[in-house]
Amino acid sequence: MKTLLGFIKKEFRQTLRDPRMRILLFLAPCVQLTIFGVALSTEANNIRLSLVGAPNDSSLQELHRKALASGWFVPAKPSLSDPYEQIQKGQADAVLIAPTGGLDRALGRKEGEVQLLINATNVTRAQGIERYMGSILRSLHPQDPPLHFDVRVLYNPAMRSALFLVPGVMSMLVCLITILLTSMSIAKEKELGTFETLISAPVSPEEVILGKTVPFVLLGLSNIPLIVGVAVVLFGMPMRGSLWMLLLAAVAFVCCTVGIGLFISTVAKNQQQSMMGGFLYLFPSVLLSGMVFPVENMPWALRIFSYINPLTYFIELLRNIMLKGGDLRLIAVNVLILVAMAVLAITASWRRFKTTLS
């Protein structure tokens, strides 16, 4: 027992003597629990609702005002685009369309039917929209409602949860592979004692960073065809967009995650720290990416973390390309954001590596 107790004390001291490990073990879980408890919610809020109809159509305007007053909906930005294009471009989550001749005239003929277009790339959110609009309709006409909705569910008419979750899982797998592999690259050199050999070799920091980055970028990209193939064949994911769009998005995302993994590797002293640092980044990155919980539900103070998360943009790109066919403007904006994040991450890794060398 004395030997065993001595061995246990040694392990505790070895693990807890590093301030970074104490932060990872004790402070990080408390911070994450606080953030996730506030940020994560399955309810659908801040639903962008667009209206297509005449401004003097009092019945339609009343329905729109009632929806906004419920607290579930917010007005979408005014747009002259076709209602279907508004949803494809991400300008609106739902669109109310008045019947021909206006809703006032239709109600006079006892034919009050309003078309409701719903973006169903997020199944949970789409179900919430349909449920909320139904309750608003019942509150307007509780006895004998002359109104009813002609609901058109776009991009996922069967409301299959797989079509919503699979792009998120695909993104998470690519992120997991690239960050964990890259985060242990330089840390492994330090632990094996070959880092000193790397420093003394006649190579520049730029060459080392490229040598540590390019292989993992290629390995990450090699997983894309496999993951997409499994998603299409086994889960029936549609591929409505172009493959070049998907490849462009994948290159930007993989470069970004490899840069983040490389930065973690330059900070960590050993593989244990790099592994924990990778998981410490991945857990909040996945939960705050919109993969399961809508980003729109989060408070503004915490939504910032989603907007600086590369996984958020890649999931949106995959869902838009595979389910909607790919809107060029949305793809261009998201890819440029990922490229900027990749440049920032790789530059930070390079600077950190130069500091380590000196």
Sign of the CA dihedral with 312 first, then 335, 120, and 66 last: positive
Q: Assess contact for 59 and 53: CB atoms under 8 A.
A: no
User: Each residue of 178-209: pLDDT tens digit?
Assistant: 888 888 877 777 777 776 676 666 767 777 77
Q: Map tokens 């003097």 to a residue.
A: 56
270 versus 24: the higher-pLDDT residue is 270
Backbone dihedral region of 193: left (phi > 0), alpha (psi from -120 to 50 degrees) or beta? left
5 falls in which pLDDT band (50, 70, 90)? Answer: confident
296 versus 47: the higher-pLDDT residue is 47
Q: Assess contact for 253 and 310: CB atoms under 8 A.
A: yes
User: What is the mean pLDDT of the segment spanning 16-36?
Assistant: 66
Q: Map tokens 């973006």 to a residue.
A: 119
pLDDT of residue 37: 56
Secondary structure string (H, E, C) spanning 166-218: HHHHHHHHHHHHHHHHHHCHHHHHHHHCCHHHHHHCCCCHHHHHHHHHHHHHH
Please provide the distance, in angstroms rounded to a whole number, between the alpha carbons at the two ends of the chain: 46
336 falls in which pLDDT band (50, 70, 90)? Answer: very high
Mean per-residue pLDDT over the chain, rounded? 81
20 falls in which pLDDT band (50, 70, 90)? Answer: low
Query: Nearest 10 degrees: CA dihedral of 337, 343, 349, 351?
Result: -130
Q: Rounded to the nearest 5°, which phi and psi values hold at 198?
A: -65, -40
255 falls in which pLDDT band (50, 70, 90)? Answer: very high
Instruction: Please tell me what DSSP assigns to residue 44.
Output: -
User: What is the mean pLDDT of the segment spanning 103-110?
Assistant: 76
DSSP structure string for 336-352: HHHHHHHHHHHHHHHHH
123 falls in which pLDDT band (50, 70, 90)? Answer: confident
Residue 210 neighbours by CB under 8 Å, 6+ apart = none
pLDDT of residue 130: 85
Residue 25 neighbours by CB under 8 Å, 6+ apart = 15, 16
pLDDT of residue 141: 66
- Tell me the whole-structure pTM to 2 decimals: 0.78
pLDDT of residue 253: 94
Choose from 13-17, 24-28, 124-128, 298-302 the range with maximum mean pLDDT. Answer: 124-128
User: What is the mean pLDDT of the segment spanning 96-125?
Assistant: 81
Query: Nearest 10 degrees: CA dihedral of 269, 270, 275, 277?
Result: -10
pLDDT of residue 256: 93
DSSP structure string for 214-270: HHHHHHHHHHHHHHHHHHHHHH-----S-HHHHHHHHHHHHHHHHHHHHHHHHH-SS
Q: Rounded to the nearest 5°, which phi and psi values hold at 77?
A: -65, 135
pLDDT of residue 257: 92
pLDDT of residue 332: 93
